[in-house]
């Protein structure tokens, strides 16, 4: 099946393959962003020098989206297993008891809802009912009185 016909039938195929290739390259061959940019730039130049249209388009897509996949994996938020981000959704909307250390200045100001106290807390433990969990990370705490 010619490449052009495949592209007409499944246009997102190249997008998927290119983005996935960038993620896979970054996972198995970790490299800095400038180095990855040079590799994909050389691939882009090779595509410009190619005279055949399907090959040209495929290499352009691979270069652009492969770099996108590489950038995505380098900037993806990676948190430890006990980070508050991983468990916060289980406690959403429920009263919890946080134990930790206040790491910022405490700000107090008057609002239409009353006195607002605000600070950043570095967490050590979260407790809901009889369930206790050791936890890491920081949270912004707003207390209204």
pLDDT of residue 75: 63
Which residues are within 8 A (CB) of 65 and not within 5 positions of it... i.e. 6 or more apart?
Answer: 14, 15, 18, 19, 21, 22
Q: Which pLDDT does position 115 carry in this prediction?
A: 93
* Sequence spans of domains, the chain: 3-75, 84-144
Residue 121 has pLDDT above 80, yes or no: yes
Q: Which residues contact 67 (CB under 8 A, 6 or more apart)?
A: 22, 36, 37, 40
Contact 61, 107 (CB under 8 A): no
* pLDDT over 90 percentage in the chain: 19
CB 60 within 8 A of CB 68: no
Mean pLDDT over the full length of the chain:
77
What pLDDT does residue 100 have? 94
């Amino acid at each position: 099946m010619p490449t052009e016909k495949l592209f007409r039938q499944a246009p997102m195929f190249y997008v998927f393959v290119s983005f996935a290739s960038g993620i896979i390259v970054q996972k198995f061959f970790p490299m800095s962003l400038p180095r990855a940019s040079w590799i994909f730039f050389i691939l882009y130049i090779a595509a410009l020098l190619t005279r055949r249209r399907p090959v040209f388009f495929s290499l352009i897509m691979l270069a652009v989206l492969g770099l996108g996949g590489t950038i995505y994996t380098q900037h993806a938020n990676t948190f430890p297993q006990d980070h508050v981000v991983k468990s916060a959704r289980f406690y959403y909307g429920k009263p919890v008891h946080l134990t930790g250390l206040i790491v910022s200045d405490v700000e107090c100001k008057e609002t239409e809802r009353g006195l607002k106290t605000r600070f950043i807390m570095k967490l050590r433990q979260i407790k809901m009912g009889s369930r206790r969990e050791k936890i890491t990370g920081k949270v912004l705490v707003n207390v209204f009185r």
